Amino acid sequence: MTKTLLAAIACILTVTATPIVSTAEAAPCLIVTLTGTQSGPSVFNGQAGAGTLVRYGDDSNDCGATKLQFDAGRGTNMRLSQIDVTPVQLDAIFFTHMHGDHTEGFADIMMLRWYFKGPKTDIVCSSDATSILGVTNSCRKYVTHIADAFLQSGEIAERRSEDNARLAGGPVDLTNVITFDPKDEPQLVWSSGDVKVSAIRSTHTAGHASYRVDTPAGSVVIGGDAGNDAPAPPRASSTSDQVEKLAKGVDIIVHSAFHPVMGPDRDSGMPPPIFYRQSLASDLGAMAKRVGAKHLVLTHLGPSLGAVIHNRWKVPGGPLTQADYRKAVEAGGFTGNTIVGTDLATLRFPAK
Ligand SMILES: [Zn+2]
């Protein structure tokens, strides 16, 4: 073959290859959305239970090639429907811990996924963990029994009799449970292509875990309800040392936050152990500053914005506003972007 012919072929190849290259170079993007911001078992003002949706992709798929749900409190499905995400599209669901305000929406999500006929999805959470009082928290059992009531009521069999393409075991047949032993160092617990999820042990209940998602577009830490390992003051911070380790250099921190007004030095009536096992907005501000985060997203607010009563306890001094939480974060020294979470609050990375 002559040099000229080779050059001509190379030229054709280059031209042919151009559209493929430009697709591959479509800008990667990350979208983080709060699917629910309620803190604790109570209901307030239509707020959904705790949860965060992390979407990653590029402009060609509206940043939605991969969709990960972290926790799934009451009403998660309703919030997802407001942003056109169906349960079928979730690539994996992660749980920080087995408290109802983080798990109650799971049956709803999985029943609808089953009704739509799948596919299977990964459920990622801690392996069974026993508390110092001898009580075992089991994500695996929670997931394994998620269909029981619907099997017992006859609904699964009834809908199957109308369409036997649906699986006989109900929603549990669509779950692939992946458990891990939370450690004091980050460990990779799930990945798909460019998306990597790592987890670390954190204190709240036995088996509580916090997560970090790394993508080429940015990174986010989901702290859950993490607090410090020391159950009460004196301690350097109410935040978790492990979450801080996990969050080094992260772009976004999403974290449950309590406001100092609920503390035992005021008259809220909240039992100190419940108050102390959460992170304070002020300490989260200090932690976000130390790790160099760009955005701090407070969620699962205790108390809820505008609430006179939080769960069973009064809010000393009256209802709080977003400005009150912002002030607490600033007192911690954080000068980045603070979002005081409301349902469906969204952060896109990079910003549009
Ligand atoms: Zn909670």
Question: pLDDT for 19-66, tens place per residue?
Answer: 444 444 689 999 999 999 999 999 999 999 999 999 999 999 999 999
**pLDDT at residue 149 greater than cutoff 80:** yes
What's the pLDDT score for residue 352?
82
CA of 72 to the centre of ligand 1 (A): 11
9: pLDDT confidence band, cut at 50, 70 and 90? very low
pLDDT at 194: 96
Please name the residue that has the structure tokens 């907005």. Answer: 281
- What is the tens place of the pLDDT at every residue in 201-260? 999 999 999 999 999 999 999 999 999 999 999 999 999 999 999 999 999 999 999 999
pLDDT over 80 at 7, yes or no: no
Name the E strands within the chain.
28-36, 51-58, 66-70, 92-94, 121-126, 129-130, 136-137, 175-180, 187-192, 195-201, 209-215, 218-222, 252-258, 295-302, 309-310, 313-314, 337-340, 346-349
- CA 160 – CA 127 distance, rounded (Å): 32
Question: Ligand 1 centroid to 76 CA: how many Å?
Answer: 14
Q: What is the average pLDDT value for the chain, to the nearest integer? A: 93
What is the Å distance from ligand 1's center to 298 Cα?
13
pLDDT of residue 208: 98
Residue 18 is predicted with a pLDDT of 42
- pTM tops 0.75: yes
pLDDT for the residue 295: 98
φ, ψ (nearest 5 deg) of residue 196: -125, 135
Query: Do residues 49 and 36 touch, judged by C-beta distance below 8 A?
Result: yes
Interatomic CA distance for residues 266 and 164, integer angstroms: 59
Distance 119 CA to ligand 1 centre (A): 29
pLDDT reading at 11 higher than 60: no
> Quick check: 2 pLDDT over 60?
no
Which residues make up the environment of ion ligand 1, defined by Cβ < 5 Å?
101, 225
Q: What was the pLDDT predicted at 25?
A: 64
Tell me phi and psi for residue 54, to 5 degrees.
-115, 120
* Separation of alpha carbons 121 and 119, rounded Å: 6
The predicted structure's pLDDT at residue 92:
98
pLDDT band at 331 (very low <50, low <70, confident <90, very high): very high
C-alpha 155 to ligand 1 mean position (Å): 31
